[in-house]
Amino acid sequence: MSCSATCTWKAHRKSQVSFEEESQNPPTVGHWKPLMPSKGDKEEPVSGCQDAGGVHEPQSMEQLNVSRLRSSSVEIREKGSEFLRDELHKAQKELKLKDKECERLSKVREQLEQELEELTASLFEEAHKMVREANTKQAAAEKQLREARGKIDMLQAEVTALKTLVITSTPSSPNRELHPQLQSPSKAGFRKGHGRNKSTSSAMVSAASQSVAPEPASRECKEVDSILFAEFQAWKESPTLDKTCSFLDRIYREDVGPCLDFPKQELSELVREAVEQNTLTIEPVAFQTVPMGRVAAEECGGPNGFRSQIVTKCALSGLPRTCKHRIMLGDSGNYYYISPSCRARITAVCNFFTYIRYIQQGLVRQDVELMFWEVMRLRREMSLAKLGFYPSEM
């Protein structure tokens, strides 16, 4: 190898090494590293001599180094710009995702706000509805309270009147001034219209009729039956209208049942139920005439237009009798003409039930033995009525 070639190779190798070092440590912007060694730097000794063309080699190496530096900086710029574009694309994608998430969350928020508004409106509507219902119920309750208080006052007045009635008038000695319906028919005939007597109100009629010619109490001998008195005492401890108790069971079998046992069985059962439920009405036939059509339309018996001293078939016995009274069961509006004997039997049973109702309600303030004898007297009236005995005023 010639001397010039050796020098050229060494210079090329040196420039290559310096380029690699410069590529590893790039120069700062605005400062260029000197290509030529300074005066103080030492150069490697070059063996041999240089030819005339060796003077221009350093300049060509500088140009080569500059071009390489330029190409490397361009590559760095391209790679940097490509990296930045990738990062930009990633950021844009993330931004789009964030926008979609924000849009979804905004829709969810709007939906929740709408549901909240609807729920609030429904709650307010329900609250107003509950307030209106509460006000309506309160008004109804106050009205019922006023009505109940009025009924209580009326019932208290009725109880007071009944107590006064019991004190001043008993079935054994009725007060005719307090009960105008107990007056004789001759006096009662001057009253106009119909006298309507419930079974509770007509309880004293038979007793008044029986008191027309009573026997002196001193001439009548009495003796308490121990069995009957024991049954009455047991019933008096807890008064009830239940038929299963021994006291009422005996009276139903021995007195009430036979006394209300009429040939017309179906109507007899209805009469017994009405007496037990206190819904039987007994009315005297008024002394007046009515049109023929009215009587035949709603009333059983009474084929003619005159309603006083009517001779017709008794609705209970089925026999032709002079019917001075008629009965109505409950509020049916149907009337049944009855004979005096049937009326006496019904009245006797009504008297008994009225008196035991008074005892049950605590309106009778007497000794147990006196109450027992009053019950026995009422049972005797039922027995006599069943046998066909009744006052002439019936």
- What is the per-residue pLDDT for 166? 66
- pTM of this prediction? 0.45
Q: 135 is written with which tokens?
A: 């006000």
Give residue 365's pLDDT: 84
Q: What is the pLDDT of residues 32-44, one digit of tens each?
A: 444 444 444 444 4
What pLDDT, on the 0 to 100 scale, is given for residue 214?
A: 45
What does each of the 394 residues of the chain score in pLDDT, given as a tens digit? 444 545 555 555 555 555 555 545 544 444 444 444 444 444 444 444 444 455 466 778 888 888 888 888 888 888 888 899 899 999 999 999 999 999 999 999 999 999 999 999 999 999 999 999 999 999 999 989 988 888 888 888 788 777 776 665 555 555 555 555 455 444 444 333 333 444 444 444 344 344 434 444 457 788 999 999 999 999 999 999 988 899 999 999 999 999 999 999 999 999 999 999 999 999 888 754 444 333 433 344 444 444 445 578 899 999 998 898 999 998 888 899 999 999 999 999 999 999 999 999 888 888 899 999 999 999 999 999 999 998 877 6
Residue of 291, 329, 284 whose CA lies nearest to 309: 284
pLDDT of residue 52: 45
DSSP bridge partners of 282 = 197, 327
**CA dist 45 to 7, 8, 42, 89, Å?**
10, 13, 9, 56
Q: Which two tokens stand for residue 49?
A: 């001599």
The H-or-E segment that residue 385 falls in is helix 368-387
pLDDT at residue 353, rounded to an integer? 93
Q: Which two tokens stand for residue 233?
A: 């005492």
Cα torsion angle, 231, 235, 236, 242, sign: negative
Burial class of residue 229 (count of CB atoms within 10 Å of its CB; 0-12, 13-18, 19+): middle
Secondary structure of the chain: what % helix, strand, coil (to 5)? Answer: 60, 10, 30
